[in-house]
Amino acid sequence: MRLEFIKMQGIGNDFVLLYGIQESALDWSSLAVSLCSRHFGIGADGLIFAETSEIADVKMRIFNSDGSEAEMCGNGIRCFAKLLFEQGIVKKNQMQVETLAGIIKPEILCEEGKIVKVKVDMGEPILSGLAIPTIFTEDKIVSKEIEAEDGTFKFTAVSMGNPHAVVFVEELKDFPLQKYGRVIENHAFFPRKTNVHFVQKNNAKELTMKTWERGAGETLACGTGACATVIAACLNGLTEREVLVHLPGGDLQINWNEQSNHVYMTGSAEISFTGTVLV
């Protein structure tokens, strides 16, 4: 069986996206592992494809490089929305996408007929400890202590449809992300594991972060993580609600709207190459 794919990236967070609407009952988990392999496959942080939806314009499914299915992906949905729009699967600039995290609303931003960025209404953050989920029952998990290897940190937990643990550090440049990221990802505090972000405050309007993604390891960017990071920064009194987040792969503009409580993420989505793969 031949599958046509497009390789895309959103500020360095890269994905294999399949063309068209997928109806075949393939073993998507195993396929994600093989296609995302950087030595034996195409190479990516995740596999994304579209299915029909009864409640939205289309449904997005995303599998991490380890084969686990993710609820949502901020950088991934920008790439997904751009592909849908360019293919004519969804012909309107503002679309509704069904995900395991609910209905997400990307908006295609164009200048002179060219897509320049994608703005995504990510919905409201989830702050309740059990709903994130964590093992804690508090309404908000802010600056709670956690031990990892030989380090003790304070994390703030946020869900953007998928779980995040945000740790603020004084200096990020030489921080040993891999040493602590994997341990916190799999910590008993998080029943479904968690994405982990180590973050440095630059000023009240700028943050710099590095990410250890659940199911993918260290990545150049994480869109839902950038959203969770700004939420965590606000909850800790570190920043304003509109923040430019610097990630290794590029920048994202995040706005936590005070009136609607929705989080808006704006960033790029770029095509790397296209091809056909036999499965």
Question: Hey, what amino acid is at 162?
Answer: N
| Catalytic residue selected from 36, 73, 79, 227 | 73
Burial class (CB in 10 A: 0-12, 13-18, 19+), 21: middle
* 110 labelled catalytic: no
Q: CB-based contacts of 49: which residues, under 8 Å, 6+ apart?
A: 17, 18, 22, 28, 60, 61
* 73 labelled catalytic: yes
| Catalytic residue selected from 36, 79, 222, 227 | 222
Encoded tokens for 102: 């609910």
Rounded to whole angstroms, the Cα distance separating 91 from 26 reads 28
**Which of helix, strand or coil describes residue 111?**
strand
Q: Are 121 and 262 in contact (CB under 8 A)?
A: yes
Helix (H) or strand (E) holding 125: none
List residues with catalytic annotation: 73, 222
